[in-house]
């Protein structure tokens, strides 16, 4: 088993751009599969879940490769989100495993719901959904207790670089999880940059900064100088990029935000089949209560501001939920799809919309908070 894993890791490291292209192609297929044949949505979601899980493994492996190679670290500058989440993963093993478990559950939750819908009754399916939300809420509270800071989504580092930036062949880089199988046959030769210390090697094009602007206007000069300036976030400790929660109001805002999906699922399970507006109104009220109670981040709190901006943008998903979806959004989408069905190019998009509308009707996790 370890030998097969080592071969796969070696293949991945030496064919990074090919793997990335394959992942993108397969991910595109998952968007067009629903509606093409019986149980096509199940096949699409199974493929999507498999891709997400393997991408998580690939990201972990590539981050180890980049971390172990100084020349690659110069090419890949981590984002603030990656610095923060990676620092917590390295600092606390409980955070790492809770965050990874939470992401794995999010990858497979829709697939589990599809299986439950085909095998058990509606009541049992909603019990399963509530159970999943309970596990997710417990994991989020674990992360909150460990960090004592607002939760970021996702709680693990994302792939923050294009794999095509890496060299095509990294055969000299061994697998990050396994030791080399045999020692080198001969003493390594002198590196190129040490053979002649009078003529420097040309810098890599990815780390070369653009030349100064040719314009001498004040705005152009200021823009160039700002691009060279060292920001406060560059010198902060990674775990200090988000300030700790202070005061009961800030804690209450985060607790309400974490409990919101669970409360919404419980109310839907109780009111399923009755088309009541209570779950939607309650979830929206909790959204705005959490938004009102949360603290206002400072100007320099870039990571926290981006997280709150993402949360505000996610409120638009309520257009695809509950009575808003049934009474306003879906009729408008149906009407637009009917009007554009005969148009040459837009008709393809209308068919795509028609295939997805029933899935939003039938499955909670397509648009769940």
- Which of 58-62, 87-91, 168-172, 356-360 is modeled with the greatest confidence? 87-91
| pTM greater than the 0.85 cutoff | no
Distance CA 61, CA 63 (A): 5
Cβ neighbours, 10 Å, residue 85: 26
Residue 64 has pLDDT above 70, yes or no: yes
pLDDT of residue 71: 63
Q: State yes or no: pLDDT of 301 exceeds 70.
A: yes
DSSP string, 33-100: -TTSSTTHHHHHHHHHHHHHHHHHHHHHHHHHHHHH-HHHHTT-PPPHHHHHHHHHHHH-HHHHHHHH
Please give the residue that has the higher pLDDT: either 184 or 367: 367
pLDDT above 90 covers what percent of the chain?
Answer: 47
DSSP three-state, residue 136: helix
Confidence of residue 111 (pLDDT cuts 50, 70, 90): very high
Q: What is the residue-averaged pLDDT of the chain?
A: 82
> Would you say the C-alpha torsion 35, 38, 42, 43 has a positive or negative sign?
negative
Tokens, residue 228: 């060279």
Q: Provide the token pair at 111.
A: 């697939």
Q: Tokens representing 351?
A: 């068919």
275: left (phi over 0), alpha (psi -120 to 50) or beta: left
In sequence order, the 6+-apart residues with CB closer than 8 A to the CB of 164 are 16, 17, 20
Q: Report, as an integer, the average pLDDT of 61-82.
A: 73
- The pair of structure tokens assigned to 168 is 């095509």
Is residue 130 over pLDDT 70?
yes
- Please write the tens of the pLDDT for every residue from 149-177: 999 999 999 876 666 566 655 545 444 54
Question: Alpha-carbon dihedral of residues 248, 254, 259, 264, nearest 10 degrees?
Answer: 120
């Amino acid at each position: 088993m370890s030998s097969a894993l080592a071969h796969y890791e070696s293949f991945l490291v030496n064919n990074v751009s090919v793997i990335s292209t394959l992942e993108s192609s397969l991910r595109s297929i998952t968007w067009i599969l629903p509606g093409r044949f019986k149980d096509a949505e199940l096949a699409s979601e199974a493929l999507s879940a498999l891709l997400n899980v393997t991408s998580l493994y690939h990201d972990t492996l590539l981050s180890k490769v980049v971390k172990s190679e100084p020349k690659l670290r110069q090419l890949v500058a981590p984002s603030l989100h990656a610095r923060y989440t990676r620092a917590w993963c390295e600092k606390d093993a409980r955070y790492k495993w809770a965050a990874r478990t939470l992401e794995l559950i999010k990858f497979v939750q829709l697939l589990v719901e599809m299986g439950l819908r085909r095998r058990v009754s509606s009541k049992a399916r909603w019990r399963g959904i509530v159970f999943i939300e309970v596990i997710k809420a417990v994991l989020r509270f674990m992360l909150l207790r460990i960090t004592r800071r607002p939760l970021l989504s996702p709680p693990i580092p994302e792939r923050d670089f294009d794999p095509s930036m890496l060299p095509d062949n990294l055969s000299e880089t061994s697998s990050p999880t396994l030791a080399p199988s045999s020692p080198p046959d001969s003493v390594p030769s002198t590196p190129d940059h040490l053979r002649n210390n009078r003529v420097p090697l040309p810098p890599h094009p990815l780390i070369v900064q653009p030349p100064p602007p040719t314009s001498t206007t004040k705005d152009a000069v200021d823009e160039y100088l700002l691009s060279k300036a060292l920001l406060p976030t560059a010198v902060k400790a990674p775990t200090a990029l988000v300030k700790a929660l202070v005061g009961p109001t800030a804690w209450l805002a985060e607790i309400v935000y974490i409990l919101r999906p669970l409360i919404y699922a419980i109310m839907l399970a109780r009111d399923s089949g009755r088309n009541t507006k209570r779950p939607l109104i309650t979830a929206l009220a909790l959204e705005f209560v959490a938004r009102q109670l949360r603290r206002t981040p400072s100007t320099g709190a870039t990571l926290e501001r981006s997280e709150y901006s993402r949360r505000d943008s996610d409120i638009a998903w309520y257009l695809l939920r509950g009575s808003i979806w049934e009474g306003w959004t879906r009729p408008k989408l149906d009407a637009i799809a009917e009007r554009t069905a005969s148009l040459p190019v837009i008709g393809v998009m209308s068919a795509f919309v028609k295939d997805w509308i029933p899935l939003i009707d039938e499955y909670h996790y397509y648009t769940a908070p």
